[in-house]
């Protein structure tokens, strides 16, 4: 299931530019069973202002984000209730729920949060791959196969390729002020078993999905 959660506040909402961990904490308060689920979530969307000097971002009046969950669970969102988002008070105005179904064997997707592909090196450092490196797409394919096998019991062949209609843009995210994550926004062409494509749409592409990376939606 994919949810679009609409938020509002009587005053501007101020957040650090790198707010992934704050939104993750907000989600875990909304969905108590989140630790047992396979999910991903998007960036915030809405009118915003960015103060690069103070490394802050502010959202004006209303904004929204998406969360996708693979498991079929019933969630009661506290619509109309005020909740804390970082140091701000926000209200959930509305939640739209849309089932995620895939009948085709090929889809074009766009990122709602950037995709990160990495590997841990023997020296303890992390190597981040980029779309100009063929290893980037090979690892995306292997990762999606493993996720699909874990969640459905099947390990299908899958192709993940850059879409000729999109341009990749690098996103550097500092997570909890402890480490820096390199990720990419763009468009992908996915081809394979429809169930694997559904996993991509509900769980995400690449790594760190439950930290707000790799959420994609069909591009129309």
State whether 81 and 133 are in the same domain.
no
State whether 85 and 130 are in the same domain.
no
Dump pLDDT digits (tens) for 135-194.
Answer: 999 999 999 999 999 999 999 999 999 999 889 999 999 988 778 999 999 999 999 999
pLDDT given for residue 60 in this prediction? 87
What mean pLDDT comes out for the span 80-88?
96
Q: Rounded to two decimals, what is the model's pTM?
A: 0.95
pLDDT given for residue 177 in this prediction? 76
Dump pLDDT digits (tens) for 93-123.
Answer: 999 999 999 999 999 999 999 999 999 999 9
State whether 139 and 208 are in the same domain.
yes
Domain of 202: which CATH number? Answer: 3.30.70.1900
State whether 148 and 66 are in the same domain.
no
What mean pLDDT comes out for the span 72-84?
95
Tokens for 91, please give them. 């209200």
State whether 76 and 129 are in the same domain.
no
Q: Which of 66, 98, 130 is the last residue of a domain?
A: 98
What mean pLDDT comes out for the span 57-82?
95
pLDDT given for residue 31 in this prediction? 94
> For residue 23, with 0-12 CB atoms within 10 Å meaning exposed, 13-18 middle and 19 or more buried, which class applies?
buried
pLDDT band at 48 (very low <50, low <70, confident <90, very high): very high
pLDDT given for residue 220 in this prediction? 76
Q: Which of 98, 126, 145 is the last residue of a domain?
A: 98
Better pLDDT: 74 or 111? 111
pLDDT given for residue 153 in this prediction? 96
Domain of 26: which CATH number? Answer: 3.30.70.1890
State whether 113 and 177 are in the same domain.
yes
pLDDT band at 61 (very low <50, low <70, confident <90, very high): confident
> For residue 119, with 0-12 CB atoms within 10 Å meaning exposed, 13-18 middle and 19 or more buried, which class applies?
exposed
State whether 92 and 124 are in the same domain.
no
Q: Which residues pair with 158 in a beta bridge?
A: 192
State whether 120 and 74 are in the same domain.
no
State whether 214 and 125 are in the same domain.
yes
- 8-state DSSP, 12: P
Which value, to the nearest 10 degrees, does the dihedral of the CA atoms of residues 63, 43, 171, 142 take? Answer: -160
Q: Which domain holds residue 118?
A: 106-218
State whether 162 and 212 are in the same domain.
yes
State whether 56 and 93 are in the same domain.
yes
Q: Which of 98, 117, 139 is the last residue of a domain?
A: 98
State whether 214 and 114 are in the same domain.
yes
On average, the pLDDT of the chain sits at: 96
Query: Domain count of the chain?
Result: 2
């Amino acid at each position: 299931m994919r949810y679009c959660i609409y938020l509002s506040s009587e005053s501007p909402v101020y957040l650090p530019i790198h707010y992934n961990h704050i939104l993750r904490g907000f989600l875990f308060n909304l969905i108590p069973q989140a630790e047992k689920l396979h999910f991903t979530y998007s960036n915030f969307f809405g009118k915003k202002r960015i103060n690069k000097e103070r490394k802050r971002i502010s959202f004006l009046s209303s904004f929204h984000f998406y969360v996708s969950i693979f498991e079929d669970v019933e969630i009661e969102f506290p619509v109309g209730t005020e909740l804390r988002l970082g140091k701000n008070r926000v209200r959930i105005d509305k939640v739209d729920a849309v089932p995620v179904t895939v009948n085709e064997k090929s889809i074009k997707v766009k990122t709602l949060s950037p995709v990160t592909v990495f590997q841990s090196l023997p020296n303890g450092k992390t190597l981040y791959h980029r779309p100009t490196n063929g290893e980037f797409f090979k690892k995306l394919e292997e990762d999606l196969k493993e996720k699909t096998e874990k969640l459905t019991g099947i390990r299908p062949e899958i192709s993940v390729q850059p879409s000729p209609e999109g341009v990749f843009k690098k996103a550097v995210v500092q997570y909890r002020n402890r480490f820096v994550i390199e990720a990419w926004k763009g468009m992908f062409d996915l081809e394979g078993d429809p169930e694997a494509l559904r996993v991509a749409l509900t769980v995400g592409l690449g790594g760190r999905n439950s930290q707000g990376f790799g959420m994609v939606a069909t591009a129309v």
